[in-house]
Structure 1
């Protein structure tokens, strides 16, 4: 069997890394022939890939919506075509897309789905959205995750030394603004560090009202911080775009034993059983209450951490 992957990004791109590249060694181990490359921009690059991999069993397109011309080209060369997405790709982070452009994107997604064999999506919201527009087979495939070996020990919690972590891309950094006033006030009452890890070279110290330490993202830095930190934050506004998010940040936190604190938006509600393996916040008051209870010693952090690890291992393990 041979599978061709056309990805949205390279191995360091979060979505491509965990929805494509982490599988490749497993496929190779099972004797499956793999060809993986970023979705090319130029026609001749696409044609070259098609000729090189003529009659491959599966073409797997990750998140990039092909033109109708590309779809016709791919159908001429590949036996089966699969499309995978894990975001509300018909809209944008800031929702500043305009209804006409949005409807055009939806039309492109529908056209794609109608002309291929299978669509994989990351959560039930994305599934329900697409199901309205096509009869093509759709399956929900949450993003699997295995914590690095160095992070598989039981997490130790000492209230005098708590590190609170946010990991994410520069495009999502402003979501932290939702909780910045509360976090700034809580820092005045309790002793904790806020650590931000993103793909910017640096962030000005006055970017947020709270004090923070910044680390530029790399795989090694990410793994190190997931081991050293105790609480993971995932604030989100409640809108069409964020409902399409598949909670991967939260999955990472929980798998590594961090206490996940997340907005009760979209897939977060399916990931966390509030108070059992993490915490859900509907507003800033909830956040303040949770942090206060943590530092008052009224929450068994070790038990919640172990429950989180157990859940992610059961549902999202490779």
Structure 2
């Protein structure tokens, strides 16, 4: 019933668009079915759509949680909406290359971090602990990416014992064979306060077409909070992290272990990489640096 009410509310919005110059649509107007609302906005109402997406949403990526509705998600509508839109805003070059097949007005609009009012370490108390905390944050649907890194974490745990901790911040507690596993339920209000507890942030990914569409939000969060990031060199990640300068890009288990191990042992390296990482975000992925890109969508 709630879902049906949501659909009715969304159709109700159509009657409020007569004064709009632009209609900004993130991903889709409805999570299932064909792009009826988008077609009405563009073809019937004649409004300029700014279409924004930050995942490879044209690819079927049905998880166990949404397999029931997977067959009615209508992935092909991404192409149609792109074709009808005035401009298309994409989170990285890979997504933009898809959109350019259907629209010549495509803008690469990277994931943007509020480094002043939100992801700002100066707003929060400094984290101090005798333990080194390696951390990961994400939704339950991306917990699967931790599976391949577990042997590395076990190796680190064996080396450092109780001075090592792996912290997961998510909306579901994972089942991982790690003795010193800590879990904090993700809560929007305390999200940054919880992330500050992490000394080294990780972002493992599988190198597939879906992952290439991801926009590196985890890495951006870590770096904005001066947390050195150790991430997989997949998709836009290779642009975000300059390996060995403001973080590490790792492909093999040995590379993952050596990078995290080096950061655990060297506090000054963690500090220096954290400073350089935040500088990279401020200059390339912050609200301040990206404001002109967003404004250009409406010109």
* TM-score, structure 2 as length reference: 0.81
Q: Which residue of 2 aligns with 1:195?
A: 167
Q: C-alpha deviations, 1:32-79, integer Å up to 9, x for none?
A: xxxxxx99853x433421212323111111112663432332123353
Alignment gaps of 5+ in structure 2: 288-299
Instruction: Give the match for residue 195 of structure 2.
Output: 226
Equivalent residue for 1:135, pick from 85, 103, 109: 103
In the TM superposition, what are the counterparts of 1:1-318 in structure 2 within 5 Å? 42=7, 44-64=8-28, 67-75=34-42, 76-77=44-45, 79-93=47-61, 105-106=75-76, 108-131=77-100, 133-147=101-115, 148=118, 151-152=121-122, 160-190=130-160, 191-200=163-172, 202-203=173-174, 207-211=175-179, 212-297=181-266, 300-318=269-287
Gaps of 5+ in 1: 1-37
Task: For residue 224 of structure 1, report the CA deviation from its aligned partner.
Answer: 1.2
SS at match of 1:282: coil
Question: SS where residue 210 of structure 1 aligns?
Answer: coil
Q: Which sits farther off after the overlay, 214-223 or 305-314?
A: 214-223
Query: How far is 1:215 from its partner?
Result: 0.8
CA-based RMSD: 2.9
Question: Deviations for 1:90-115, whole angstroms, at most 9, x for unmatched residues?
Answer: 22446999xxx8xx734x22222221
| Matches of 2:169 and 2:49, distance apart in 1 | 36
Aligned residues: 270
Query: CA–CA distance in 1 between the matches of 2:4 and 2:221?
Result: 26
Kept after mapping to 2: 8 A contact 1:39/1:64? no
**TM-aligned CA distance change 1:113 to 1:39, over 3 Å:** farther
Change (3 A) 1:63 1:232: same
Q: Is the 8 A contact 2:89 2:108 kept in 1?
A: yes
Separation (CA, whole Å) in 1 of partners of 2:62 and 2:35: 27
TM-score (norm 1): 0.76
Report the counterpart of residue 3 of structure 1 in structure 2.
none
Deviation at 1:307, TM superposition (A): 0.2
